[in-house]
Amino acid sequence: MKTTTIYNHAFWNAMRGKQAAYNEMYEGEDSDGYIIPTEFNKKYQKALEKENLFRRLATVVNTKSKDGTIHAVASTGLAEWVSESVAFPESADTFKQFPVSSYKLASLSKIKEHIVKDNDFNLEGYLENEFARRFGRSEESAFINGDSINEPAGILNATCGGEIGVTAEGSTVLTYDEVIKLYFSLKPEYRRNAVWLMNDETAFKLRTLKDDYGNYLWNQADNTILSKPVEYSNYMPNMVSGEIPIAFGDFSYYWIIERQSLTIKVLHERYLINGEIGFSGCERLDGRLILPEAVKLLKMA
């Protein structure tokens, strides 16, 4: 239904306050508004990836249940070479259950009514970029620092986040050797697709680190550390006492559990006295690192 031209036409007529056939939108109706048309959602997801690095690196799992559990592999079996007519080796994989919540992320944008009704105004592009910016940044913050109280649990969560790989000797300064230790604290199977995550201030300081022979830790040519790419997020803490300024690991083991992608509700009457139209956007999702050993953390003293 949401893929049809009819739904798309009715949806954007409703957004602009034009006469809309709401009976043609009923399958896209949700308690928080109307599910955005499929083509618009594709554009929105691409815009979201630019604002939130986890939308590029993590695994997105779609579910319809509001709350419940998900099952994830907690170990990895291996294939073995066998002779003909020999029984296949059994996998030692084990599965864990993880509780899933349906946290609500919401935002409201108000636009002047005469702008919305101007056919030259790209309402679709505005809502795409504005909501991607708002939701993307809030998601990224939670996926790093979330405490699992009314928001997802982040990778730095003390209970269900990544594992401490190295504790620095200093409270505000890192050494070359400590970064090397963090690298090797991660198992080889996770290093294969691993990336570094830090904020700009930490990255600036790491760019100056050298070994005893004057060789820089940071490869300036391709922006890598030990051949692994660096991702930046200013939601990562600074290098101060007790904080975790660096994460290193395979972030595909962070799962974004998406119950409902973006829905939008148009509020024509509520802000009419101010000559404005409101657009409320809402997502329902959770997030969790399903394998803590896949992400190692460096903690300051």
* Greater model confidence, 47 or 75: 47
Residue 45 within a domain? yes
In tens, the pLDDT along 53-71 reads 999 999 999 887 777 788 8
Q: The domain that contains 261 carries what CATH number?
A: 3.90.1690
Q: Which of 244, 283, 30, 297 is nearest to 151 (CA)?
A: 283
Which of the four pLDDT bands, split at 50, 70 and 90, describes residue 130? very high
Non-local CB neighbours of 23 within 8 Å, separated by 6+ positions: none
Average pLDDT value for the chain: 92
88 lies in some domain: no
- pLDDT one-digit tens code per residue, 75-96: 667 788 888 888 888 776 778 8
The pLDDT of residue 1 = 44
In sign, the C-alpha dihedral spanning 267, 270, 272, 275 is negative
DSSP 69: E
Task: Name the residue among 139, 136, 131 with its Cα closest to residue 40.
Answer: 131
Expressed as residue numbers, the domain containing 205 is: 1-74+94-301
Question: Residue 117 carries which DSSP code?
Answer: T
Closest CA to 246 of 180, 149, 153, 150: 180
Is 116 within a domain?
Answer: yes
- Count the domains in the chain: 1
Q: Is residue 89 in a domain?
A: no
- Start-end of H helices in 19-152: 38-51, 54-57, 113-116, 123-145
Task: Kindly state whether residue 86 falls inside one of the protein's structural domains.
Answer: no
Pick the closest to residue 1 from 32, 48, 42, 38 (CA basis).
38
Q: Is the confidence at residue 24, as pLDDT, over 70?
A: no
Distance, CA of 237 to CA of 172 (rounded, Å) = 12
Residue 209 falls inside a structural domain: yes
pLDDT in tens, 187-230: 999 999 999 999 999 999 999 999 989 999 999 999 999 999 99
- Alpha-carbon distance 148 to 115, whole Å? 39
